[in-house]
Amino acid sequence: MNHDGATLADKLQTMSELLNEVKKAVTLRAQESDLMLDQQVIADSADLGQQLNQRRKELAIDMATLELQTGVSASTLKRLFKDPEQVKFGTVLRVADALGVKLCAAL
């Protein structure tokens, strides 16, 4: 019985150690996610315009193609990329959606 008790205790100790490793990994992953979110925070509207334009370039979408995809004129797209406050918010949402950019609020 002593031998079985020691085996059970060893198993419990091993499980406890594994659980602690999992907790550490989850904590580390959460910290990495928070850091990534902090790096993607948009400080002002000009940042949003620049990020949308950068995404367009990453996807190799020219202005004419984006205009066709969104129904937003090239001149409005240029204003949006310079300063999104110059265009309607619905337009910003339409362009962001076409570029695969999700706008969300984090509190």
Q: Does 30 fall in a domain?
A: yes
pLDDT in tens, 71-106: 999 999 999 999 999 999 999 999 999 999 988 776
Whether residues 28 and 4 fall in one domain: yes
Give the DSSP letter string of the chain. -HHHHHHHHHHHHHHHHHHHHHHHHHHHHHHHHHHHHHHT---SHHHHHHHHHHHHHHTT--HHHHHHHH---HHHHHHHHH-GGGS-HHHHHHHHHHTTPPP----
Instruction: Look up the pTM and report it.
Output: 0.61
In this prediction, residue 60 carries a pLDDT of: 96
Residue 57 scores a pLDDT above 60:
yes
Q: Is residue 2 part of a domain?
A: yes
Is the same domain home to 54 and 21?
no
Q: Which domain holds residue 16?
A: 1-39
Say whether both 89 and 61 belong to one domain: yes
34 & 49 share domain: no
Task: Say if residue 27 is in the same domain as residue 56.
Answer: no
In a domain, 52, yes or no: yes
